A and B are shown apart, each in its own frame.
Chain A
Amino acid sequence: MSAEATIAVNLARCVGSTMCIQVAPSVFALTDEGQSCVIDAGGDPMERIVEAAENCPMEAIRVEDLRTGTVLFPLTEES
């Protein structure tokens, strides 16, 4: 599947809870440092990626529509 999203994990926030990996295991993986990283932005369908971001207890994941640049998550940006 080709990627439809730009996904960023904020490492200053990620606490390695692995929630994102449970929801979208082909997109996210744990680094040796125990934090999440994107291994394949097209690995799971878009709904799963947004669901993964929603399940992150730290709101560490940002998802943008690759084509339009619309921010799909988080819906309100942190100041």
Chain B
Amino acid sequence: MALSVSDDLTAPEVIADPHSYYRRLRDQNPVHWNDRWGGWVLTRHDDVVQVLRDSEAFSSDRMGYLERELTENEVEPIAPIFDVLSRWIVFTDPPLHTKLRMLVNRKFSPKMVETYRGTVRKIVNDVLDEIEPQGHMEVVRDFAYQVPMTVILELMGVPDLIRVKIKEWSEQLGLFFFIRADEPRRRQFATQGISALAGHLTHYLTHVIEEKAKNPDNDLISLLLRAEMDGELTRDDVVATCVLLAFGGHETTMNLIANGTLALIRHPDQWERLKEDPGIIKTAVEELSRYDGSVMTTVRWARRDVEIGGETIKAGQRVLVGLSGANRDPAQFEDPDVLDLTRDPNLHVAFAHGIHVCVGAPLARMEAQEAFTALTSRLPCPKLETEELEYLPTVVGRSLRALRVVF
């Protein structure tokens, strides 16, 4: 059967409406070899869960694979950065993964996260105090960004005057990471841009960490430093983990808050429903994560030949794991394209699954719960200033460039 789905994952119509694209793919060829990207694309819930659960057959060592792809001359100038990135838990396999993960996990368990709820509620309401009298806002910049960034830096114990700088750097960093696969200048970006940018962030945090080492406190950085003193981690592991948390901790949550706000604006009845019954906030956040989550895909590399849905994924081949595709799979979700804030059960994979399941998920969930509760209780359902919305052209992140609303 000729496939009526193109392999260009960053074509304008895919970026504008990825859910329709992945639905067509799932309907026509759920285990699809994408020649242009050079890997398999999965869009069924069952297949996605199978791959994410099997970390023995499917590796996350993204840096290792990327490094082998580049030539020696290309690698040399970015070697120090590779060193930082390859220590990130998101890109490591056990046993290093297990060690880092257990340390960080303690600070992010649901029980721990509950103790930050009061702080987060205050941050959200302070931000809304500024917005409310104005009658309009740019949701991404004025609301969605402010909340997670303030929270993660507070948890890490980083002084907040540096917030703006970190936002600038991580934006540029993000632009590199989420760059189009077919972008011919990708390698040039890689070799030039990244060393400068990640360098800034790493350099600054190294500084903060050195200060902390002199005056340890109760924050996350101090916790990692104690593990360093116990000989469990090296200073490089500490720095790398802090860079990851500063970067991964806000971009994704920001996008969930922005995408969720948009979904509620497009379904004013659901906005009212949440306003009237804030008790549904937990299932509401799960549903908003499923409906238009902030991470659409992740990647794994097959370590050996594995069969998925009747196709053989060969050792060394890469797999684009379609989280958004899985989240709209009718085999798993009734009326998958309907937004239902009380959907339960809701086994979505917006935070992935298996050993790499998002360590920040309990925190992101709680932040989103506080954000949407305050938003719907304090503001009337806003109107979009324009229907023309623009998303960053990436395969991974579902990120609005801006969301202007009036209320």
Taking Cβ atoms with an 8 Å cutoff, the residues of A that contact B are: 12, 15-19, 22-23, 33-34, 54-59, 74-75, 78-79
Which of B72-80, B106-114, B228-236, B253-261 is found at the contact surface with chain A?
B106-114
Residue B192 at the chain A interface, CB threshold 8 Å: no
How far does the alpha carbon of A23 sit from the alpha carbon of B355 in the complex, in Å? 14
Q: List chain A residues, Cβ under 8 A from B110.
A: 54, 56-59, 74
B353 within 8 A of A: yes
Interface of B is mostly: helix
Contact with A along B13-57 (1 / 0, CB 8 A): 000000000000000000000000000000000000100011000
Contact pick for A56, options B109, B282, B345, CB 8 Å = B109
Partner of A79 from B279, B345, B352 at Cβ < 8 Å: B279
Secondary structure class of chain A's binding surface, majority of residues: loop
Contact yes or no, A22 B357, CB < 8 A: no
Given A18-B355, A22-B102, A34-B54: A12 and B109 interface contact (C-beta under 8 Å): no
Check A15/B357 contact, CB under 8 A, given A56-B109, A57-B110: yes
Alpha-carbon distance between A54 and B362 when the two chains are bound, in angstroms? 12
For B54, the closest partner residue in chain A by CB is: A34
Chain B nearest CB: distance from A71 CB in Å? Answer: 14
Contact with A along B343-357 (1 / 0, CB 8 A): 001010001111101
* B359 contacts the other chain (CB 8 A): yes
A54 to B279, CA, bound (A): 24
Whether A19 touches B354, Cβ cut-off 8 Å, given contacts A57-B362, A79-B279, is no
- Measured between beta carbons, the chain B residues less than 8 angstroms from A17 are 354-355, 357
Bound-state Cα–Cα, A15 to B54, Å:
12
Most buried by B among A12, A22, A57, A74: A57
Is A57 touching B111 in the complex (CB atoms < 8 A)? no
Which of B53, B101, B102, B362 has a CB less than 8 Å from the CB of A16?
B53
A78 CA to B110 CA, complexed, in Å = 12
For residue B306, CB closer than 8 A to chain A, the reply is no
